[in-house]
Chains A and B, each alone.
Chain A
Amino acid sequence: MNSEKGLGARKAKDWTMRGVALALTLVILIPLFDIIYVVAVNSAPALSLTILTKTTADGGLINAIAGSVFLVCFSSLLAILLGVFSGVYLAEFGGRFASVVRLLADVLTGVPSIVVGYFGFIVFVLDFGWGFSALAAALALTIIMLPYVTRTTEFALRKVPSDMKEGSFALGATRSTTVNRISLRYAAPGILTGVLIAVSISLGETAPLIYTADFSNYLPSGALTHSPVGYLTYVTWAYISEPFASAHQQAFVASLILMLLVLSIGLCARFMVARWWKS
């Protein structure tokens, strides 16, 4: 047997693969670090407490931060409620109608978010007469999030081992008891991951909000309709084209805060999933 020779060749191949993988990973990391660097350097001079105490009109960001958090929480609540239920339906009960829903969800993932924004404008802002408002904006974001939550819920539920479900049926459990007490529990980390990805995506969206939330220099009024809402991505998008250095700095700080929020959601997800598996 010429195992020695074969082994050498295999090792060489292995090392080449490793090298290529490492090089490509670095190529991906360079722009990422560049973005972080640019944002950090440009926002550094403006970092102060005013960001949290003043509104955008006075050089702060508090109205945009509050608006973003409010819109994302509101839409996440709706998306989780609707998405988890429809995911359960698709995975556990669906018949032919389910394949139609599944197709629609997949199509919805591919619809450009600006189209969702325009749809929100026509339907919620104009037809329903809500005006630029938190409700219209949150529903537009919900539409963006919904397919992610639905599909990850469905996938996570499909991965539940069938012998576990059979164990539950064999004890006299009904289908809904089995879904509630076994399947959803087993699938929870997967569903959570999907939800947090959807939350991160919605946090970074601008297009669906431009037509539905407009923008406001004031803190969210609490009114659900006829009251525009400020949000962070708008500051990044609009202030960068203003001819003032202070506006540019605000835009970069808004980006920095968005990045930190997404990062903390990601870390939170990892932490929660890790803890879940342990317990």
Chain B
Amino acid sequence: MVEVLTTRTESAQKAVMHLQADSQAESKVALKGLSVWYGMSKVVDDVSIDFRRNRVTAVMGPSGCGKTTLLKTLNRMIDLVPDARVEGEAYMDGQNILDPQFDVTILRRHVGMVFQKPNPFPMSIYDNVAFGPRIHGMKKKGELDRVVEESLVGAGLYGEVKDKLGKPASSLSGGQQQRMCIARAIAIKPEVLLLDEPTSALDPSGSLKVEQLITTLKENYTLVLVTHNMQQAARISDNTAFLYEGRLVEYGETGQMFENPKEELTEKYITGKFG
């Protein structure tokens, strides 16, 4: 099965595939032949995907297939891993963000990230959300107040916390913390938002809120959502990329892919007949 996938014709097929996927939306971030190694092992293998503007793209695949690694490449957090090596190209609005000359702090202002586990900073809710704007030079109290409020409203958390913005962020529930982390990410007004299994640490009602939030964020952002939850991908994503052992097996419109997968591997994964 795996051997069959590695054949040459595959990449030609893939090129056709991502042209078919949702061609009415513009491309925001385009990966071209992206490969990533940790030391000697190749964990992302020649992946080409177009992430489209104002769409939620779900990235799915079994544990260890390289989803987080792929996300970390998009905001160059991968640079922090000492023995990681990246090859290929990643264009955001036509600029190669993998170019060593490309300033990562600028890149990360435009590409926000929300982690699998909520990671509040050891400070108040207000200071958490104001962190990004502050380090990028916003100083005026009035301006900061407005951004903090806007972001919390955007993350659907404002009503719950408006009377306790000075309280430590650690006093929030897990679901609230995750929405605060989303507020923190959108406070610097990124264009792309990377979400790495943002609901895996949350209970169903917390997950539901975050899912609703992701759907509303679509209006302003390009979203990339890593998830293990098939129902979730089906509910809120427009396009889905299926990775297996670092390779892109299939990429297409979510509804179509779930109903009528082109690849046998995808079908097996979707129907839960995996390993």
A residues in contact (CB < 8 Å) with B: 161, 163-164, 166-174, 177, 181-182, 185-186, 279
Contacts and interface: CB of A to CB of B under 8 A. Distances in A.
Interface in B102-128: 104-109, 112-113, 115, 117, 119, 121-123
A263 to B, nearest CB: 29
Interface string B168-204: 1000000000000100110010000000000000000
A167 B80 contact: no
19 contacts: A164-B119, A166-B115, A166-B119, A167-B184, A168-B121, A170-B75, A170-B185, A171-B135, A171-B188, A172-B104, A172-B105, A172-B132, A172-B135, A181-B131, A182-B122, A185-B121, A185-B122, A185-B123, A279-B168
B28 to A, nearest CB: 18
A177 B121 CA distance: 13
A187 to B, nearest CB: 10
Nearest to A173: B135
Contacts of B80: 166, 169
Contacts of A186: 122
A170 B122 contact: no
Interface string B139-176: 00000000000000000000000000000100000000
A190 B117 CA distance: 24
B121 A170 contact: no
Contacts of B168: 279
Residue from the set B115, B117, B119, B123 with the largest chain A CB neighbour count within 10 Å: B119
Contacts of A174: 105
| Minimum-distance CB pairs A-B, first 8 | A172-B108, A170-B113, A171-B132, A163-B119, A167-B119, A172-B105, A172-B109, A186-B122
A166 B106 CA distance: 16
A209 B185 CA distance: 54
Nearest to A185: B122
B119 A172 contact: no
A105 B121 CA distance: 31
Given A169-B108, A172-B106, A172-B136, A182 B121 contact: yes
Interface of B: 75, 77, 80, 104-109, 112-113, 115, 117, 119, 121-123, 131-132, 135-136, 168, 181, 184-185, 188
Contacts of B188: 171-172
A180 to B, nearest CB: 10
A163 to B, nearest CB: 4
Contacts of A168: 121, 131
A171 B184 contact: yes
Nearest to B121: A182
A146 to B, nearest CB: 27
A171 B119 contact: no
A172 B110 CA distance: 9
B102 to A, nearest CB: 13
A170 B75 CA distance: 7
A244 B266 CA distance: 94
Contacts of B136: 172
B186 to A, nearest CB: 11
A159 to B, nearest CB: 12
A169 B123 CA distance: 16
A163 B132 CA distance: 16
Nearest to B187: A171
Contact of B185 (A163, A166, A171, A181): A171
A181 B130 CA distance: 12
Contacts of B123: 185
A161 B121 CA distance: 10
A181 B181 contact: no
Nearest to A170: B113
A164 B75 contact: no
A169 B104 CA distance: 9
Contacts of B113: 170
B117 to A, nearest CB: 6
Contacts of B131: 168, 171, 173, 181
A138 to B, nearest CB: 33
Contacts of A166: 77, 80, 115, 119
Contacts of A279: 168
Given A171-B185, A174-B105, A161 B112 contact: no
A247 to B, nearest CB: 52
A19 to B, nearest CB: 39
A167 B115 contact: yes
Contacts of A172: 104-109, 132, 135-136, 188
Given A163-B119, A164-B119, A174-B105, 9 more contacts: A161-B119, A164-B122, A166-B77, A172-B104, A172-B107, A172-B109, A173-B131, A181-B131, A185-B123
